[in-house]
Amino acid sequence: MTEKLHAYVDKIKEANSAWVTEVTAGHGEVTAVIRRENIAEVCKFLKVEHGFDMLADLCGADRGPEEDPRFEVNYHLLGTKHHDRLRLKVLVSEDDPHVSTVSHIWRTADWHERETYDLVGVIFDGHPDLRRILLPSDFDGHALRKDYPLRGYEPYSLN
């Protein structure tokens, strides 16, 4: 199964070898790390040329304040006709947590990108309505960052 998934990654590399910086495989899945500057191009290429017509999920993760780049954005793609799944990953730094939106490629990205912005703090450039989706608009910080206090920022001490 992973041979077929690696073939998709090979097609990405054939289109532009600079797009892919790393490939990992495990548990029957393949992940291609894509340069953040190219994620929209790669997503469009996979949708148009290889039938990945569904963005099943997009999620952000904080790798920890000591990691550089600190954040990752994972794109879980599905082809509803060929039933293949492929994961793309983009790494972004804390100093410049920007990546291009893919909401113009898959409409469902709108909600997933807003959630990732809300909870992790990754900014999706070109997003049509990037604002919080789960937490109140006046919420302080990003709740899924590893340095966010478990009890939030409390205005007083419980001592």
Q: Which of 51-55, 82-86, 96-100, 140-144 has the lowest mean pLDDT?
A: 140-144
Q: pLDDT tens-digit profile of 4-32?
A: 999 999 999 999 999 999 999 999 999 99
Domains detected in the chain: 2-95 (3.30.460.80)
Q: Which of 101-105, 106-110, 147-151 has the lowest mean pLDDT?
A: 147-151
Instruction: HSE, CB side, 13 Å, CA atoms: give it for residue 54.
Output: 10
Q: pLDDT tens-digit profile of 57-106?
A: 999 999 999 999 999 999 999 999 999 999 999 999 999 999 999 999 99
Chain position carrying tokens 């894509």? 34
SS3 call for 20: strand
Gap between the Cα atoms of 60 and 16, Å rounded: 25
Mean pLDDT, residues 129-139 taken together: 95
The whole-number pLDDT of residue 91 equals: 98
Gap between the Cα atoms of 113 and 122, Å rounded: 8
Mean pLDDT, residues 44-53 taken together: 98
Residues 6+ apart with CB under 8 A from 149: none
Q: pLDDT tens-digit profile of 112-125?
A: 999 999 999 999 99
Instruction: Produce one character per residue of 47-56: b if its CB has 16 or more CB atoms within 10 Å, e if not.
Output: beebbbbebe
The whole-number pLDDT of residue 159 equals: 54
Instruction: HSE, CB side, 13 Å, CA atoms: give it for residue 138.
Output: 0
